[in-house]
Structure 1
Amino acid sequence: MSSSTTTTTNSLHDARRLFPRLVSNIARHSYRAVEIITLWFWLSHRFPESGLIRQILFMNDQDIESLAVEADLILNSLLLPNPAPTHDDNNDMPITAALLNMQTINTQYCINNCDSVSQGLSATLCGLRWMVFEDLLGQDQMAVAAAIVANENLNWMVLMDLFWANVYNNNPLLGYPLLRMIINDDDEDDNDDDLTSECTLLVTFMRGSLFTEEELREIFTRYGGVEKVVIQETPATSSSLYARIVFHSPMVLYMVLGNSNMVELLIGGKRMWARRFKSE
Structure 2
Amino acid sequence: MNQVQPNDSHSVYRQLYALLVYDLYRDPIEAIQMMAIWIWLEKMITMSPDLTRRILTVSPHLINSLGNEALLCWACLGNINLLFSCSFTNFPLTNIVLRKEMPVEFFRLHRDVTINGINEVIKRVCATCLKDIWDGAIARNAQMANNYATTIRPQKVDTQPDERTLFITFSRGFPVAEREVREFFTRLFGECIESFYMQEVAIGEHPLFAKIVLHNAWYVNSVLSGGTKAKFMINGKQVWMRKFMPKR
TM-score (norm 2): 0.51
Matches within 5 A, 1:215-234: none
Whether 2:137 is the aligned partner of 1:140: answer yes
**Which amino acid is 1:97 matched to?**
N
What is the aligned partner in structure 1 of residue 111 from structure 2? 114
1:46 to 44, 47, 69: 44
Matches within 5 A, 1:201-220: none
Contact 1:41 / 1:124 at 8 angstroms: preserved in 2?
yes
What is the aligned partner in structure 1 of residue 206 from structure 2? none
Matches within 5 A, 1:126-205: 126-152=123-149
**Residues paired across the two proteins, number:** 145
What is the aligned partner in structure 2 of residue 170 from structure 1? none
Alpha-carbon shift at residue 128 of structure 1 (Å):
1.1
Q: Where do 5+ consecutive residues of structure 1 fail to align?
A: 1-6, 155-280
What is the aligned partner in structure 1 of residue 79 from structure 2? 80
Q: Where do 5+ consecutive residues of structure 2 fail to align?
A: 1-5, 152-248
TM-score (norm 1): 0.46
Contact 1:83 / 1:111 at 8 angstroms: preserved in 2?
no
1:28 to 7, 26, 29: 26
**Which amino acid is 1:144 matched to?**
N
SS in 2 for 1:85: helix
CA distance in 1, matches of 2:123, 2:148: 38
CA distance 1:73–1:107, change in 2 (3 Å): farther
Contact 1:36 / 1:68 at 8 angstroms: preserved in 2?
yes
Alpha-carbon shift at residue 110 of structure 1 (Å):
2.3
Ranked by relative contact order (alpha carbons within 8 Å, sequence separation 6 or more), the top structure is 2
CA distance in 2, matches of 1:69, 1:106: 17
CA distance 1:73–1:112, change in 2 (3 Å): farther
Contact 2:17 / 2:35 at 8 angstroms: preserved in 1?
yes
Considering only aligned residues, what root-mean-square deviation do their CA atoms show, in Å?
A: 2.7
CA distance 1:139–1:97, change in 2 (3 Å): same
Contact 2:36 / 2:126 at 8 angstroms: preserved in 1?
no
Contact 2:34 / 2:71 at 8 angstroms: preserved in 1?
yes
CA distance in 2, matches of 1:71, 1:151: 30
What is the aligned partner in structure 2 of residue 276 from structure 1? none
Contact 2:20 / 2:26 at 8 angstroms: preserved in 1?
yes
Identity %: 21
Matches within 5 A, 1:80-99: 80-83=79-82, 85-86=84-85, 90-99=88-97
SS in 2 for 1:135: helix
What is the aligned partner in structure 2 of residue 101 from structure 1? 99
